[in-house]
C-alpha cells in the first residue's frame, strides 16, 4: 500500500454518543475486507493518562499489553478489531503538552515562541502519523474525544483539519457522529442539533464526508434528505445508527447501510466482499441464546457500570460461546456489609468479585467470597478480588484472625497481602503500578491449567500489592493452592481451592483480553460452571419451588 489513509471521527450534540463504538464498527468492516486498521483515541483532558481518573466519573481504565492505562474506548477497539492496542493508541492533551514542554526545556525549538499552532498541532499530527507507521496500517482511525464546540478539543480539531492538507484530501475522511433526538408524544424527529453541530465543525474548517446519526427511531428518507441539504453531506452518506440490542450488531447495520463501501470509494481503496460470517454467528448467539444463567458482579463502582465494561463484555463473549445469556446481577460490595450475603446471593449461579482499591466495601467482598466458598458457588476473583479471596481464606479457614491487606490495615497482625517490593518508596500515583502483560506459570492439572488448556499464560496487570510469600506455606497446608506464579516463583498470580467445584482467582485482569471471537478461558470456565450449577439445581425440588 503506497500511502496510509486516515479516518477522523468526531462527535456532536451530546457526549457519550458512542463515537468509539461507531469508529470500532467501521474498523471491523474494513478489517473484514482484509485491511490493516490501527485505532487512535485522542482525549482532550489534561491528565497525562487515564490511570489516575476516578472510575465513577470516567468508567473503566483499560490496560494495554505494554502497560498503558488508557481510555475505555480502547477496549472497544481491541474487541471489535481483534488487535492489540499500544500506549500510543491513546493520547491526551496532557501528554501532548508534556512532550512539547519537555522539548522546549531541552532547547529543541531553538528559541522559537512555542505556540498552540504550530507546535501543539504539529505534535498531535506527528502522533497520528506515528501510530500509522508503528502498526504498519493501511488505515488509521482517529477518534477525537469530547464534543464539537468544547474549548479543550479545539487544538485536536485544528490538527485534523490541517492533516487533510498535509496528507492529501484523497487520503483523509471525516466522520461526524451525532444524535437525532425525538420530542413530544409522537416522537417527532429533530434534525436541528445535528445541523448546528455540523455548522460548528465547518466553522473550524472541517466538512464531514459522512454523518452517523444515532437515533431511537428509523430515519425516513425525507429526514435524511433534509439533513443532507443542510449539512452538505451526500444523502447516502447520512447513515442511520439505530439503538440495538447488542453493540456487536452495529457493524452489521453499518454494512447494510453501505458505510464501508462509501468509505473505501471516498479513500480510493478497492472494495471486496467482507468476511462477516463469524461476526454474524456471534451476534445471533447473543441475541437468541438457548440457555441462561445469572452471575453476581460484586464491585465498588457499581453505580457507573462503565467501570466494569470489559468484565460485562467478557461475560457476553463467554455466554455466546456456550450459546447462553449471562444475566449480570450488579451488586455494590458495601451493600453486602449490611444485608445477609446468603440471602442476597442465594439465587445466583456464580459470583465474580471485581478489582478495586481502598477500604470501602472490602468486608462486603469478603462476605460474598465466604458465601461462594462455603456453598460451592462458582467463583472468580479479579485482582483485589483475588487478594480478598486470600484474606477470607486466611481468616476463616487458616484461623488468622484480623488477616488483611496492608492497603487497608497497616497494623494487621497478618499482612497476607502486602506491598510489592518494587513499590516501596514510590510516591507518584500516575503510571507507577505493576502494569501490563507478564508471564505466569500454571501448575499442571490445576483448575487454572484446565481452564486455560495451557501452562504458560500472559495476562495484563494493574496493582501495587501482592500475596505475602511468608504466608504461602501456611495457607497451602490448609488447602489453598497457588496454581499460578511468576516464572521466578516470586509472585503469586492465581489461587484456587481444589475441594470446591470452581473457585479460582487471579492477580491480573483477564477481562482486557476477551474478544467476541476469542472469549477468555476464565470467563468461559466460570460461565460453564454457573450453567452446570443452574442445571443441577433445576432438578432440586426445594430450589424449583423458590423459583
Ligand atoms: N488495590 C489492589 C492493589 O493495588 C488491587 C488493584 C486492582 O484490583 N486492580 O494491589
Residue-wise pLDDT for 191-232, tens only, equals: 999 999 999 999 999 999 999 999 999 999 999 999 999 999
Contacts 24+ apart (CB under 8 A), 474-482: 474/398, 474/400, 475/390, 475/393, 475/394, 475/398, 475/416, 477/398, 478/393, 478/397, 478/398, 479/397, 480/390, 480/393, 480/397, 480/398, 481/443, 481/446, 482/443
What's the CA-to-centroid distance between 431 and ligand 1, angstroms?
A: 13
* CATH number reported for the structural domain that contains residue 432 in this entry: 3.40.50.880
My answer on whether 320 and 253 are in the same domain is no
* 168/112 same-domain check: yes
Q: 463, 491, 492: which to mutate for ligand 1, most atoms within 8 A of CB? A: 463
Query: Which atom of ligand 1 lies closest to the CA of 462?
Result: 9
Q: How far out from the chain centre does Cα 353 lie?
A: 17
In a domain, 153, yes or no: yes
Ligand 1 surroundings by CB, under 6 angstroms? 355-357, 383-384, 407, 462-465
293 is catalytic: no
Indicate if 100 and 237 belong to the same structural domain. Answer: yes
Name the residue range of residue 125's domain: 5-280
Q: Same domain, yes or no, for 370 and 226?
A: no
> CATH number, domain at 149?
3.40.50.300
Of 50, 299, 310, 355, the residue with max ligand 1 atoms within 8 A of its CB, to mutate for a pocket test, comes to 355
Q: What is the pTM of this model?
A: 0.93
How many angstroms separate the alpha carbon of residue 82 from the centre of ligand 1? 27
Q: Is the pLDDT of residue 547 over 50?
A: no
Distance 472 CA to ligand 1 centre (A): 19
- 508-517 pLDDT per residue, tens: 999 999 999 9
CA 267 to CA 6: how far, in whole Å? 9
Distance 429 CA to ligand 1 centre (A): 13
Domain assignment of residue 170, yes or no: yes
Say if residue 225 is in the same domain as residue 321. Answer: no
- The domain boundary, picked from 245, 280, 315, lies at 280
> Within this chain, do residues 307 and 231 fall inside the same structural domain, yes or no?
no
Per-residue pLDDT band for 56 (boundaries 50, 70, 90) equals confident
Indicate which residue of 383, 461, 466, 496 is catalytic.
383
Per-residue pLDDT tens for 279-317? 999 999 999 999 999 999 999 988 888 899 999 999 999
Domain ends where: 280, 302, 330?
280
Per the domain annotation, does 541 fall within a domain? no
The gap between the terminal CA atoms of the chain, to the nearest Å, is: 60
- Protein residue with least CA distance to atom 6, ligand 1: 463
pLDDT digits (tens, 9 = 90+) for 250-277: 999 999 999 999 999 999 999 999 999 9
* CA atoms within 13 Å, Cβ hemisphere of 328: 23
Ligand 1 mutation pick, 352, 407, 415, max ligand atoms within 8 A of CB:
407
In testing the pocket of ligand 1, which one of 52, 408, 465, 512 has its CB within 8 Å of the most ligand atoms? Answer: 465
Decide if 305 is inside a domain: yes
pLDDT at 389: 98
Which residue's CA lies nearest to atom 5 of ligand 1? Answer: 384
Higher-confidence position of 371 and 540: 371
The pLDDT, as a whole number, for residue 431 is 81
pLDDT at 541: 52
Is there a domain that residue 285 lies in? Answer: no
Residue 546 lies in a domain: no
63-118 tens-digit pLDDT: 999 999 999 999 999 999 999 999 999 999 999 999 999 999 999 999 899 999 99
Tell me, yes or no, whether 197 and 317 share the same domain. Answer: no
Atom of ligand 1 nearest to the CA of 465: 10
pLDDT at 5 over 90: yes
What is residue 454's three-state secondary structure? coil
pLDDT at 1: 44
What span, in angstroms and rounded, lies between the C-alpha atoms of 40 and 104?
25
Average of pLDDT values for 530-537?
92
| Cα–Cα distance measured from residue 92 to residue 124, given in angstroms and rounded to the nearest whole number | 9
CA of 25 to the centre of ligand 1 (A): 32
Q: Does 543 map to a domain?
A: no
Nearest residue to 210 via CA among 173, 250, 244: 173
- Separation CA 168–CA 319 (nearest Å): 45
Q: Which of the residues 69, 158, 255, 511 is marked catalytic? A: 511
Over 43-81, what HEC string results? ECCCCCCHHHCCHHHHCCCEECCCCCEECCHHHHHHHHH
Residue 407 belongs to some domain of the structure? yes
Question: Looking at ligand 1, which residue's alpha carbon is closest to its atom 3?
Answer: 463
Give tens-digit pLDDT for 430-476: 888 999 999 999 999 999 999 999 999 999 999 999 999 999 999 99
Backbone angles phi, psi at 361, to 5 degrees: 80, 0
Angstrom distance (rounded) from CA 40 to CA 8:
10
In the reported structure, the alpha carbon of residue 382 is separated from the centroid of ligand 1 by a whole-number distance in angstroms of: 9
Instruction: Give the strands of the sheet with 415-419, arranged side by side.
Output: 404-405, 415-419, 465-467
- Kind and range of the H or E element at 391? helix 384-396
End residue of a domain, out of 280, 302, 329: 280
CA distance linking residue 262 with residue 209, whole number of Å: 10
Q: Which residue has the cell 493520547?
A: 91
Same domain, 236 and 301: no
Spatial separation of the C-alpha atoms in residues 298 and 469, rounded to whole Å? 27
Using one digit for the tens of pLDDT, what is the confidence trace for 318-364?
Answer: 999 999 999 999 999 999 999 999 999 999 999 999 999 999 999 99
Rounded to the nearest integer, the mean pLDDT of the chain is 94
Same domain (yes/no): 362, 509: yes
Is pLDDT of 534 > 90? yes
**Do 209 and 295 lie in a common domain?**
no
- Rounded-to-integer distance, Cα 274 and Cα 122, Å: 36
Q: Is 383 a catalytic residue?
A: yes
Q: Assess whether 132 and 269 both reside in one domain.
A: yes
What CA–CA distances, in Å, run from 104 to 98, 99, 113, 217, 406? Answer: 10, 9, 9, 52, 42
Residues 115 and 142 in one domain: yes
CA-to-CA distance for 389 and 420, rounded, in angstroms? 18
pLDDT higher than 60, residue 538: yes
Q: What is the pLDDT of residues 122-141, one digit of tens each?
A: 999 999 999 999 999 999 99
pLDDT of residue 545 exceeding 70, the answer is no
Cα 316 to ligand 1 centre (Å): 24
State the total domains in the chain.
2
Known catalytic residue: 509? yes
Q: Identify whether 263 is preceded by a cis peptide bond (ω within 30 of 0).
A: no
CA pseudo-torsion sign 332, 336, 396, 408: positive
Amino acid at each position: 500500500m503506497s500511502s496510509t489513509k486516515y479516518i477522523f471521527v468526531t462527535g456532536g450534540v451530546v457526549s457519550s454518543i458512542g463515537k468509539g463504538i461507531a469508529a470500532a464498527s467501521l474498523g471491523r468492516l474494513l478489517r473484514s475486507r482484509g485491511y490493516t486498521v490501527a485505532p487512535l483515541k485522542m482525549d482532550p483532558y489534561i491528565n497525562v493518562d487515564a490511570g489516575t481518573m476516578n472510575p465513577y466519573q470516567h468508567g473503566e481504565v483499560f490496560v494495554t499489553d505494554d502497560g498503558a492505562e488508557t481510555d475505555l474506548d480502547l477496549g472497544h477497539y481491541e474487541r471489535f478489531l481483534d488487535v492489540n492496542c499500544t500506549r500510543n493508541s491513546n493520547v491526551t492533551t496532557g501528554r501532548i503538552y508534556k512532550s512539547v514542554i519537555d522539548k522546549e526545556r531541552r532547547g529543541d525549538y531553538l528559541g522559537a515562541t512555542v505556540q498552540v499552532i504550530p507546535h501543539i498541532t504539529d505534535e498531535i499530527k506527528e502522533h497520528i502519523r506515528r501510530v500509522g507507521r508503528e502498526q504498519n496500517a493501511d488505515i488509521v482511525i482517529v477518534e477525537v474525544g469530547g464534543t464539537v464546540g468544547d474549548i479543550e478539543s479545539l487544538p485536536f480539531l485544528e490538527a485534523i483539519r490541517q492533516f487533510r492538507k498535509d496528507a492529501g484530501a484523497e487520503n483523509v475522511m471525516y466522520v461526524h457522529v451525532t444524535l437525532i433526538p425525538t420530542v413530544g408524544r409522537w416522537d417527532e424527529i429533530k434534525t436541528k442539533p445535528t445541523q448546528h453541530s455540523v455548522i460548528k465543525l465547518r466553522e473550524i474548517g472541517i466538512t464531514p464526508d459522512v454523518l452517523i446519526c444515532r437515533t431511537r427511531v428509523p430515519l425516513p428518507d425525507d429526514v435524511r434528505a433534509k439533513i443532507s441539504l443542510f449539512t452538505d453531506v451526500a444523502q447516502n452518506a447520512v447513515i442511520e445508527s439505530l439503538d440495538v440490542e447488542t453493540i456487536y450488531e452495529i457493524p452489521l447495520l453499518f454494512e447494510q447501510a453501505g458505510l464501508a463501501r462509501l468509505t473505501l470509494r471516498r479513500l480510493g481503496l478497492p472494495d471486496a466482499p467482507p468476511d462477516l460470517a463469524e461476526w454474524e454467528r456471534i451476534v445471533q448467539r447473543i441475541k437468541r441464546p438457548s440457555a441462561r444463567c445469572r452471575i453476581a458482579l460484586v464491585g465498588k463502582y457499581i453505580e457507573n457500570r462503565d467501570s466494569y465494561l470489559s468484565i460485562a463484555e467478557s461475560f457476553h463473549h463467554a455466554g455466546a460461546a456456550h450459546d447462553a445469556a449471562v444475566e449480570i446481577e450488579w451488586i455494590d460490595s458495601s451493600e453486602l456489609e449490611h444485608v445477609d450475603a446468603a440471602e442476597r446471593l442465594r439465587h445466583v449461579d456464580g459470583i465474580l468479585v471485581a478489582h478495586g482499591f481502598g477500604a470501602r466495601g472490602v468486608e462486603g467482598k469478603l462476605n460474598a467470597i465466604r458465601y461462594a466458598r462455603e456453598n460451592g458457588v462458582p467463583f472468580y476473583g479479579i485482582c483485589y478480588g483475588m487478594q480478598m479471596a486470600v484474606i477470607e481464606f486466611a481468616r476463616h479457614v487458616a484461623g488468622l484472625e484480623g488477616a488483611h491487606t496492608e492497603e487497608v490495615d497497616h497494623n494487621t497482625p497478618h499482612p497476607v497481602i502486602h506491598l510489592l517490593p518494587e513499590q516501596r518508596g514510590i510516591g507518584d500515583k500516575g503510571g507507577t503500578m505493576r502494569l501490563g502483560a507478564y508471564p505466569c506459570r500454571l501448575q499442571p492439572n490445576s483448575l487454572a491449567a484446565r481452564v486455560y488448556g495451557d501452562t504458560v499464560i500472559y495476562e495484563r496487570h494493574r496493582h501495587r500489592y501482592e500475596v505475602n510469600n511468608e504466608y504461602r506455606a501456611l495457607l497451602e497446608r490448609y488447602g489453598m493452592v497457588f496454581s499460578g506464579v511468576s516464572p521466578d516463583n516470586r509472585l503469586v498470580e492465581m489461587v484456587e481451592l481444589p475441594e470446591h467445584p470452581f473457585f479460582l482467582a487471579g492477580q491480573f485482569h483477564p477481562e482486557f483480553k476477551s474478544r467476541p471471537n476469542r472469549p477468555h478461558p476464565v470467563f468461559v470456565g466460570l460461565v460453564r460452571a454457573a450453567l452446570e450449577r443452574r442445571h443441577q439445581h433445576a432438578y432440586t425440588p426445594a430450589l424449583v419451588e423458590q423459583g
